[in-house]
Structure 1
Amino acid sequence: MGNRPMQSCLGRCHCGAVQFRIETDFPELTTCDCSICRRKNALMVKVHESRFALLAGEDSLSEYRFHTGTARHYFCKVCGIYPFHRKRVTPDYLGINVFCLDDFDPEGIPVRQAAGAAMA
């Protein structure tokens, strides 16, 4: 952590209805083996809610909860893309789908496999 500079990145869903900004130094990226993450196949960066701003599209977001109902997964109602979710274990953090970030290159950032399927 900390050997990359803090960056401000813009992100959006495919159709552009949902737009957001994050600030992060990209300490690591994560994948998860839980049932929903396996299906959406996203690569995520964890961002504190104070470093996240929804710029447009609140009314275009659909929320999905499952299992304990704690994690809040968001999808664009128009194009179906998953841009982010509010995390279950650390609800003041969001998991941001880095493939929704403009001009993002994950090269050189370590990727950690999260064991979401084992969470009870």
Structure 2
Amino acid sequence: MGIKEVSAVAVNEWHTARCHCGAVQLRLHLPDGIVDPRRCDCSLCRRRGAIAATVSENGIEILQGHAHLRLYQFNTHVAEHWFCDVCGIYTHHRRRSNPHEYGYNVACLEGIDPFGLGVVPTNDGVNHPADR
């Protein structure tokens, strides 16, 4: 999957994200908090309705539930969309526009209310830059 396994790291800049049932747990390195929260209007994101934010490739670790993660890919098969096979919640994805970054589901962050973010911009995923 390309995501490193758990290692001992400073706790302050690391945050836990969980799917609905708790089978999948991630640790995200977010020293600057939630960076670039956005929605996307591509065919998949439009249907899942999640707010995603960015984390570096080295800033995401699977704490629990690696075996419960399921991959969904479409179109160019560059982006990797990961879901819990127990509750169906989208937890994270490798970004198509930058495969060295991940997007994560802001609603999965412990202690975060995604409705409290205010206005969240929508990216034009229908006319993705990689399609040009």
Is 2:63 the partner of 1:23? Answer: no
Secondary structure in 2 matching 1:89: coil
Higher strand share: 1
Number of aligned residue pairs: give it: 115
User: Which structure 2 residue ranges, 5 or more long, are not aligned?
Assistant: 1-11
- Aligned twin of 2:5: none
Is 2:75 the partner of 1:67? Answer: yes
Greater shift in the superposed pair: 8-17 or 108-117:
108-117
How far apart, in 1, do the equivalents of 2:74 and 2:50 lie?
17
Residue type of the partner of 2:25?
A: Q
Among 78, 87, 91, the residue aligned to 1:83: 91
**Equivalences for residues 1-120 of structure 1 within 5 A:** 7-24=13-30, 25=32, 26-106=34-114, 107=116, 111-119=120-128, 120=131
TM-fit CA distance, 1:9: 1.4
Whether the aligned pair in 2 keeps the contact of 1:29 and 1:109 (CA below 8 Å) is: no
Q: Cα RMSD over matched residues? A: 1.6
User: Which structure 1 residue ranges, 5 or more long, are not aligned?
Assistant: 1-5
- Aligned twin of 1:3: none
Whether the aligned pair in 2 keeps the contact of 1:28 and 1:111 (CA below 8 Å) is: no
Deviating beyond 2 angstroms after TM superposition, the runs of 4 or more aligned structure 1 residues are 105-112
After TM superposition, the score normalised by the length of structure 1 is: 0.88
After TM superposition, the score normalised by the length of structure 2 is: 0.80
